[in-house]
Amino acid sequence: MSTTDMDFVIDFEFLRRRQNEVVVKQLSVAAKNMIDFFRFKSPFTMTSQGSDENVLNWEDWHIAYHDMYMVVSEAEAGFAHLYCYGVTKCKFLNELLGRPILNM
């Protein structure tokens, strides 16, 4: 594998809770010849929000929030360099995965 084959990019959409806590809604991953995304259920109880029109209903998303580590760690396994854009996102992923995330 060449160096560029070892690069892995992660990005995600998130909300902030009252105490500045990041809550991931959708996470996307990309590498050479691979792209995928994962939608997560809400990590807390809440009433239905959004509408069928804008496709932002939490209950429509299928992966349990507590499975995020397993999903992301399996997706990034074997890649030497992980990239993300933004200090907040890099910090969140570093804490989740326990490995360096390079800010693009």
**Amino acid in position 31:** A
Give pLDDT, residue 61. Answer: 55
Q: How far apart are CA 7 and CA 84, in angstroms?
A: 11
Helix (H, G, I), strand (E, B) or coil at 82: strand
Write out pLDDT tens, residues 9-35.
Answer: 999 999 988 888 899 999 999 999 899
> How many whole angstroms from its chain centre is CA 73?
10
What is the C-alpha to C-alpha distance for residues 19 and 21, in angstroms, rounded to an integer?
5
Measure the CA–CA gap between 29 and 97, rounded to whole angstroms. Answer: 14
Two structure tokens written together for 34: 């691979």
- Based on the structure, what is the number of domains in the chain? 1
Cα–Cα distance between 25 and 23 in angstroms, integer? 7
Predicted TM-score (pTM) above 0.75: yes
- Residues 6 or more apart from 49 whose CB is under 8 A from it? 56, 57, 58
Domain around 7: 3-103
User: For residue range 56-78, what is the model confidence (pLDDT) as tens digits?
Assistant: 665 665 798 999 999 999 999 98
